[in-house]
Structure formats: C-alpha cells, structure tokens
Chains A and B, each alone.
Chain A
Amino acid sequence: MLYFIEQCLNGVQLGMLLFLLAAGLTLIFGIMDLVNLAHGSLYMIGAYFAATFAALTGSFVAGAVLALLATLVVGIAVEVIAMRRLYGRDHLDHVLGTFGLILFFNELVRLIWGPAGMTLPLPSQMLTAVEVLPGVYYPLYRLVIILSTLIVALLLYLLVMRTRIGMLIRAGASNREMVAALGINIKLLFTLVFGLGAVLAGFAGMMQAPILTVQIGMGENILIVAFVVIIIGGIGSIRGAFVAAIIVGFIDTVGRAFLPDLLRMFLSNNAASSAGPALSSMLIYMLMAAILVVRPEGLFSASSR
C-alpha cells in the first residue's frame, strides 16, 4: 500500500513534467500552427544549462534562474533565425525543418559538453523525505517539483485568461489575421509565445535534471510522450493538456510498477517477467488508441478551450 501511494505520487510528478512540455507545444501549435519537434531540444538545453550554471555558481537556485534566462534567449534566437520562416508553411515543412534542428542541437550539445552525461546535484536540504501521510515518506524534491509545477500551471492560467497578453494569445489562436488587422504586432506576439514555450520546456528539463542524468537525446523520448498527451487532451487546449498529462503520467508510472506483478497472477513467472515490461510500455499508446476511437479530436477539443 505504501509502495502504491509512492508510485501514485511519482505518476503525478511525471504528469506535471509532461504538462510543462505539452503546454508549450500546444500553445505554439494553437497560435502559430507550428509543429515543433525541436521542443525536446529546449528541454535538453534547459537541463544542460542548469547543470552547468549550478556548478559554476555553486548555488542550485542561481543556476536555475540563469538556466531559465539562457533557455529563453536560445528559444528566442531559434524563433528569430529559423521558426519565423516556417509559419504558414505546410506541416511537413515544419516536421522536416525542426527535425534538422534536433540533429543540430544534439550534435551541438555533444560538441560543447561532450558525449558523457552530466549530473545536477541537489542542495543537501532537498535530500530529505517528508511524511506526506502517516507512515508514508516521500522525497522532498519530488514534492517540490509537483508544487512548483502546479504554481507554474496556475500562473500560466492567469497569464492566458486574465492578462492583456493572454487575451491577445487567445485571440491569435482563434483568428490570426484579424488580430494582425487590428494593429497588434503579431510578429512580436509569436516571438513571445515561442519564448514562453521555450521557458516552460527549459523549466521542465531543469526540474527533472537532478532525478535523471542530463544526457543527449533526453528530450526526444519525453517529447513523443508529450505528443501522446496532446493527442489525448486535444490539440490547442491547455486544460486538455493538464488533464491528459496527469492521466498519462499516472498510467505510465503505475503500469510500469504493477503490471508485471499483475501478469504474474495469470501467466507463468517467466512469461510475465518477459511480457511485463513490453506490455507496460504499450499502455499509454493503447490508451491513446482507445481515446481516438471514441473521440478523434481528443478529450477537450480546441473549441472548448
């Protein structure tokens, strides 16, 4: 039972992380109609920056702040140099162009930081565990991830729903030409939204860095899961991304933890331990397939944003 609660919390934590990525992707897609495969590269770069700056400054927090700023700069540079030219093109062009960017960034990171991964050590006061329920201890840092992501999600909600920029973002998502015709600097708005997405991705990478090794290609695997989240949640819907991210994170984590044991009840020990890992990694994709059968547009289609 204790193990189950711990795994549930891990699931929520993964879901939160996926939300950060999916929110940026879905914002960028909703407003610029741009498929950005290179979003995972920004996640990776955020993690590398965090590890580097934390080592340089000797402070986790200072490293984190610097990493976010640096990721923002990289994101804006990518938008100005490359992405801006892709708006209004075919989705296939976006896929190809950003595929090229992924190769470029992966190789650039290998050139600068070398092929070996990095680690981002946590400050010592973060290494403790907290008693979340009587008798249930959970690592403090993972709780920090969950809480800080919830705060970011709340800020994002306030930004999009309650501010003038958010109003422009929503307006841009529903009718780009009209917003431009009303005299809004749509180019600047696009750059801002892309920068916002980059910061969200960088934040996700930075928060995850102490738990995993910081390594090349870390962005792509999680990016594809973020795609699954968006498909389930409905493209363009931040609310959908939030709900779907928690569902996917939960099912993936809990499935990996318990499916092999569950199979052992029905199958021989040997068959279960070989089928278990394969089957549990299929779970979220089967969920996606099932949702597609019922609702091809995802749980929350963009119109109900």
Chain B
Amino acid sequence: MKARFRPRDVVVAVVLAGMALLPLHAVLTGNSFLMSLCTRIIILAMAAVSLNLIMGFGGMVSFGHAAYLGIGGYVVGILAKEGVDSGFLQWPLALAASALFALAVGALSLRTRGVYFIMITLAFTQMLYYVAIGLDRYGGDDGMTIYRRSQFGGLLDLSNRTAFFYLCLVLLLLTSCLIWRIVNSRFGMVIRGARSNERRMRAIGYPTYRYKLVCFVIAGTVCGLAGVLLANHTDFINPAMMHWTRSGDLIVMAVLGGMGTVLGPVLGALALLVLEEVLSGITEYWQIIIGPIFLLVVLFARGGIDGLLGRIRA
C-alpha cells in the first residue's frame, strides 16, 4: 500500500515541483502575482492538511478550525504592535496559544459527538471572532497592519518574497510529513480506530478521549503555524481571519481534495483558490456559482479530487 505509486502522488509531486519553480517564473516575468497567490495557497493548504488530521482520520468534524489561523495571526500582530518582533519569541508563543485554545475547546467539545461537535466548535470560534472585534487597541473590526514581519536575526529575511515562499513550502512539506508519520503510527491507528468504532476501541482499553484530545491539539497547533505565516504574508490581521466562512472554506478544501489522504487537502486548497480566482475574474457575483458547485461536489463527487484520480487508475 505504501510502496505503490498512486496517481495522486504523481499529481501532488508535479504540483509541488511546479510550485517550487514559481520564483523563477516571477524573476523572469517580473510579475510576482502568481507567486503571491501560491504562497497563500500553500499557507491555507497547511491549515487544510491540519484540519484533515482530525476530520478525515479522526472523524471529528470541526467547523471552527479558522480560530487557530486567527490566534496565530493575532499573537504575531499583537506582539509586533507591542514592539516584540523577534520571530524566536513570536512563533513559539503563537503555537503555544493555539495549542492552549485547542486544549480548552477540545476538552469541552470532545465530551460530545456528531452534530453537537460541529456546532460547538463553530460557536467557540464565533466567540473568538467577537473577542477580536472587541479588541479596539488592535484594530477592532477593521483589523490592523503589521509593519514589521517576524525577525529572525540575520538567519532569515521574511520580507524577501522568494525566501518567504520557500519557507512556507518547506514548512508545508514538514508538517505534512509530520502528519503522515502521526497517521501511520500506533497513535494514528488508535485515532482511526476510534473513528470507525469508538466503543470497541474503548472496550479494548484505549482511553479514546485523551487520544482524540491530543490529536485535536496537534491539529490546532499546526493550523496556528499557518496563521503565523498568513499574518506575515498579508502583513495584516483582522477578525475575518477567523470568520465562520473561513472555517467552511477549510472544510471544503479537505473534502474537495479527498479526505483521509494526507496530501489530498493540498490539491483541494489549490483547486478552491484557483477556482475562486477564475470565477471572480468572470463575474462579480462568483459566489452564486461556487455555492452550487459545493452542493454538486457533496452529491456527486464524494471522494473529491483524490477519488477522481483513483477512478482514472481503476
């Protein structure tokens, strides 16, 4: 199973190789729009990959995953505003804050399941959204500009677009690799077992609640990293980073790419953001097209892009 090359692996490899060559394209044409778009795709792909860890493998449908994008971004932004711009401080603090919030939300919401879980994760993220609106010092509803990206001494200059692009790409690969390792470890087996039959896993003697909680915290932390990158990419934070539609977008990416595969969400993020870009070029009212597309994907293309690729092989 692991050794065989699947069509998906080929597509993902081609996509990633193509992305790695983008800075070259930017230098040659002098047009960095495509690179900027791809940086965004990579960052959101990281968020979608992390969501897929709990949703695709753990069966925990979180409708509030954008919260961690917001936390990562706001920690960076708030620290920058208060004069702390060292990445060595900002980044670990952002990850810790994301992990802490995931721990609190997970501990409460994992007591329930199914539709309760969906609504509760949504509600807690909405709470955070309103808190961010209430933070007048940090821009309130309008958000605020970050004037200086995270500083890493002389090690790395995030203001250099190409360097930042490669950093995001490498971090996406590293986090995907981490999640791949987790999924295929003993820990991951427990999580996947709990997804298909939690009662049985508990009967064998696994404290599934604790396993799921750890998994939830890992996913939140990885998404927090994506939030840190997003804030550094846009040089801007606002409450919309954790608006519920963003959480919905992340779910769409995971499902569109194919749940239950580590790299599927990368394809999903690519597909969704490119689709948005193309449709918004055609008409101002592009959401009137994309909404029904989501519905059609649900009704007819349940396995996502990965499922379609699987069909090509078969």
Contacts and interface: CB of A to CB of B under 8 A. Distances in A.
Nearest to B288: A107
Given A96-B252, A97-B295, A278-B135, A107 B285 contact: yes
A292 interface: yes
Interface of A is mostly: helix
Contact of B288 (A111, A275, A296): A111
Interface in A94-133: 95-97, 99-108, 110-111
A235 B285 CA distance: 35
Nearest to A273: B136
Contact of A224 (B244, B255, B297, B299): B244
Nearest to A104: B291
A285 B124 contact: yes
A106 B292 CA distance: 12
Contact of B63 (A95, A101, A110, A221): A95
A221 B192 CA distance: 34
A274 interface: yes
A254 interface: no
Contact of B115 (A89, A91, A96, A285): A91
Interface in A275-303: 275, 277-279, 281-282, 285, 288-289, 292-293, 296-297
Contacts of B255: 92, 96
B127 interface: yes
A82 interface: yes
Contact of A92 (B127, B251, B287): B251
B119 interface: yes
A102 B291 contact: yes
Interface residues of B, number: 45
Contacts of A95: 61, 63, 118, 248, 251
Contact of B297 (A96, A108, A235): A96
Given A274-B136, A274-B137, A91 B118 contact: yes
Q: Is the interface of B mostly helix, strand, loop or mixed?
A: helix
A281 B131 contact: yes
B298 interface: yes
Contacts of A96: 248, 251-252, 255, 294-295, 297-298
A227 B123 contact: yes
A5 B299 CA distance: 50
A35 to B, nearest CB: 5
A86 interface: yes
Interface in B93-128: 108-109, 111-112, 114-116, 118-120, 122-124, 126-127
Interface in B264-296: 285-288, 290-295
A282 to B, nearest CB: 5
Given A29-B115, A220-B244, A278 B291 contact: no
Contact of A231 (B116, B131, B136, B290): B116
Contacts of A104: 287-288, 291-292, 295
A92 B297 CA distance: 12
B61 A91 contact: yes
Interface in A260-276: 274-275
Given A224-B244, A281-B134, A282-B131, A288 B120 contact: yes
A111 B285 CA distance: 7
Given A96-B298, A101-B295, A293-B111, 19 more contacts: A86-B299, A89-B298, A91-B118, A92-B55, A92-B255, A95-B63, A102-B291, A103-B245, A103-B294, A107-B291, A227-B122, A228-B119, A228-B123, A278-B130, A282-B131, A288-B123, A289-B124, A292-B112, A296-B112
